[in-house]
Amino acid sequence: MNDTLLRALLCQPTDYTPVWLMRQAGRYLPEYNATRLRAGSFLALAKTPALATEVTLQPLERFPLDAAILFSDILTVPDAMGLGLYFSEGEGPRFERPLRDEAAVRSLAVPDPARELRYVLDAVREIRRALAGRVPLIGFSGSPFTLACYMIEGSGSDDWRTVKKMRREQPALLHRILETNALAVTAYLNAQIEAGAQVVMLFDTWGGSLAFNDYEAFSLAYLRKVLSGLAKERDGARVPNIVFTKGGAPWLAAIVASGFDAVGLDWQTDPRQARALAAGRVALQGNLDPAALFSAPGLVRAAAREVLDAFGAAPGHVFNLGHGIVPGTPPDSVAALVDEVRTYSRRIRDNATRVS
Amino acid sequence: MNDTLLRALLCQPTDYTPVWLMRQAGRYLPEYNATRLRAGSFLALAKTPALATEVTLQPLERFPLDAAILFSDILTVPDAMGLGLYFSEGEGPRFERPLRDEAAVRSLAVPDPARELRYVLDAVREIRRALAGRVPLIGFSGSPFTLACYMIEGSGSDDWRTVKKMRREQPALLHRILETNALAVTAYLNAQIEAGAQVVMLFDTWGGSLAFNDYEAFSLAYLRKVLSGLAKERDGARVPNIVFTKGGAPWLAAIVASGFDAVGLDWQTDPRQARALAAGRVALQGNLDPAALFSAPGLVRAAAREVLDAFGAAPGHVFNLGHGIVPGTPPDSVAALVDEVRTYSRRIRDNATRVS
């Protein structure tokens, strides 16, 4: 197997910088749109293991990526808790029964992944079989706080006012939700590992909306709680874990020190500063601005080189975007990006070796 | 005159922490909505000095704020350049003629504020008369980069893909727009100072969308250019200046070192870290999460105390939100906030004096 990603996530030397892209299976690919059309809806796609497997593998047919990432939704866990996930056309995810009172929170139970999230585990197993050892499979979950955002608000939000009202007016209730989510996410990720996920990643998409004095208590503390319960290996092989807080740059030092094997960086974060904090002990993943992919391929290559130069040639870098690929991104840009990361990162490693 | 704000912006001692709020005149106030209805549209309101004066003063009638801020739009300058600002119902600002090619950029001219932006200067003069020395008046402008975002994209955007395409494919063209904007913003702010603005603030609302290696070159460099041309006093009185980059926490050290008298902070930024960087030489403004105002008044007071405690009792803090007041905010929350800042900041100053 191509184990470049696994080695980089553990800060071991690699011949080149491994690359995968958040939302590498998605709407910018015509073949994805065709499969989705066939599925009837995004949720049907995510809930049908054969189709989830098909779209997970699509980007690997086009680009020599170093990892596959499970195709799924970040809100599968609260859906399994009975909140009723749905998508209304042109809008983001919504819940039919958002958490609005103590009774709803008290009745919240940690789902049994083998039962309520079996379709995800089936997809993991089917993807592993289809990958046949080409590249590792990354499993993932939304973070306890990010799940809580949608569970309380009932939908996406510009300001998460309902969540933040609960944080002030009923902090114990919010902590109880986060506690339940942490247990549910831990069980969910461990079940993915058991089913075959070789890396797991926590997406803390909305942690960056918290105030300076709330991020630690309401997001990072529960990320650490998940980490403490996570399986660190399976069948003797290490299963590296990654945490990514979008907008987390103000708390970078705390995130890097939180104990995860690797930290995802958005495109505002300076890789040189992150490298200094990580001190060769924590791997870093990122961090090209997804909007850079709207330029001509030659300029995409230049943008990739800027990011690679900023991270440098030392071990412990996984190339990625600073957030997911945006719909409308030209697939040719992605091809140029992946090729340039491969070629140029080999070159800077060779140069570094020659100098030393 | 109540000069508490002016003194705090120059890091001079004050009896309490002055407070004003971004968008303090706005849709959360029923009297504002009544005036806007009378005006017929947001732009008519902004372009009619008598009405702009009326809404500028409305929050001061309700709350003992330490400053008034000119009611206007951040996009008046590109509108004066002939791009055709308009608002479509339920959406943000748009331009009829966004900048899409070299010819459009080459024909871009720096407006003469006395002619094309006279309605703003008339409003400044009328507001000063109406204030009759109660509190200082803050003038403002969008930053060169933030104006360029809307001028190029033609509207708001989640990813500013057109701006970022130009940054890669035609960087000289983008620099030319920013150069023109810097000259226009400098002339505009100096004209506001000449008309009576006693403080000026630059809103770099979208600088935080730039990548780690682009913020300096495409936003901060032009903010400094504006600063270098700004009038620093009028009639012997210092006119303090404030810069605010939303999402600027990753580059806080550079922003604090940029030479502005004061730096606005969003709610993700840790005031203690900012205080250390500012070292008593640069004032700081902020930084309560606007969503905290959706809680009951007693909890709003607690939230205000947390922010005041984080900034501490040393001179050089102006209390504000970390971004504008959100529509739907209860005016009672704002009343509680302003009262608590006044009372509690007096108390922590008294305690600090007693201890020292």
Of the candidates B32, B4, B31, B36, the one whose C-alpha atom is nearest the C-alpha of residue B20 is B4
Over residues B97-112, the mean pLDDT reads 95
A210 contact residues in B (CB cutoff 8 A): 268
Query: Given a cut of 80, is residue B89 above it in pLDDT?
Result: no
pLDDT of residue A356: 56
CA-based nearest residue in chain B for residue A214: B268
pLDDT digits (tens, 9 = 90+) for B242-269: 999 999 999 999 999 999 999 999 999 9
Judged on CB neighbours under 10 Å (0-12, 13-18, 19+), A134 is middle
Please give the biggest Cα pair distance in chain A. 65
Contact yes or no for A292 and B208 at CB 8 A: no
* End-to-end Cα, chain A, rounded Å: 30
Beta strands in chain A (DSSP E): 68-69, 85-87, 93-95, 137-142, 199-204, 233-234, 237-238, 241-245, 262-264, 283-288, 317-321
pLDDT digits (tens, 9 = 90+) for B181-229: 999 999 999 999 999 999 999 999 999 999 999 999 999 999 999 999 9
Contact yes or no for A294 and B268 at CB 8 A: no
Q: Is B299 on the interface with A (CB under 8 A)?
A: yes
Residues 6+ apart with CB under 8 A from B89: none
Residue with the two structure tokens 């690929």 = A325
pLDDT of residue A116: 97
B302 contact residues in A (CB cutoff 8 A): 168
What percent of chain B has a predicted confidence (pLDDT) above 90? 96
User: Which of B160, B247, B302 lies nearest to residue A291, judging by beta carbons?
Assistant: B160
- 180-219 in chain B: CB under 8 A from chain A: 208, 210-213, 215
| Ranges in chain A, pLDDT < 70 | 355-356
CB B74, CB B203: distance < 8 Å:
yes
User: Which of A211, A215, A268 lies nearest to residue B247, judging by beta carbons?
Assistant: A268
Over residues B93-97, the mean pLDDT reads 96
- Mean predicted lDDT score pLDDT of chain B: 97
Q: Is A271 on the interface with B (CB under 8 A)?
A: yes
Min Cα distance B114 → chain A (Å) is: 38
A294 contact residues in B (CB cutoff 8 A): 161-162, 164-165
Of the candidates B337, B351, B273, B276, the one whose C-alpha atom is nearest the C-alpha of residue B305 is B337
**How many Cβ atoms sit within 10 Å of the Cβ of residue B30?**
10
Q: What positions of A carry a catalytic annotation?
A: 23, 27, 36, 73, 150
pLDDT of residue B355: 63
pLDDT of residue B356: 56
Of the residues A157, A273, A289, the best mutation for testing chain B's interface (the one with the most B CB atoms within 10 Å of its CB) is A289
Contact yes or no for A295 and B328 at CB 8 A: no
Query: Given a cut of 80, is residue B73 above it in pLDDT?
Result: yes
Contact yes or no for B164 and A295 at CB 8 A: yes
User: Which of A169, A250, A328 lies nearest to residue B270, judging by beta carbons?
Assistant: A250
Give the helix ranges, DSSP H, for chain B.
4-9, 30-39, 42-47, 49-62, 76-78, 102-106, 113-116, 118-131, 144-153, 161-169, 171-195, 215, 221-229, 252-256, 271-278, 297-311, 331-355
B249 contact residues in A (CB cutoff 8 A): 249-250
pLDDT of residue B91: 79
Q: Tell me how far apart the alpha carbons of residues B10 and B160 are, in angstroms, rounded to a whole number.
A: 35
pTM of the model: 0.97
User: Which of B291, B296, B310 lies nearest to residue A161, judging by beta carbons?
Assistant: B291
CA-based nearest residue in chain B for residue A216: B268
Contact yes or no for A160 and B291 at CB 8 A: yes
Min Cα distance B187 → chain A (Å) is: 31
pLDDT digits (tens, 9 = 90+) for B262-310: 999 999 999 999 999 999 999 999 999 999 999 999 999 999 999 999 9
B289 contact residues in A (CB cutoff 8 A): 164, 211
Give the model's confidence band at B343: pLDDT under 50 very low, under 70 low, under 90 confident, else very high.
very high
User: Which of B161, B250, B270 lies nearest to residue A212, judging by beta carbons?
Assistant: B270
Secondary element (H or E) of residue A177: helix A171-195
pLDDT of residue A100: 87
Give the model's confidence band at B97: pLDDT under 50 very low, under 70 low, under 90 confident, else very high.
very high
Contact yes or no for A208 and B289 at CB 8 A: no
Q: Tell me how far apart the alpha carbons of residues A286 and A268 are, in angstroms, rounded to a whole number.
A: 10
Residue with the two structure tokens 């997001």 = A219
Characterise B138 by phi-psi region: left (phi > 0), alpha (psi -120 to 50), beta (else): beta
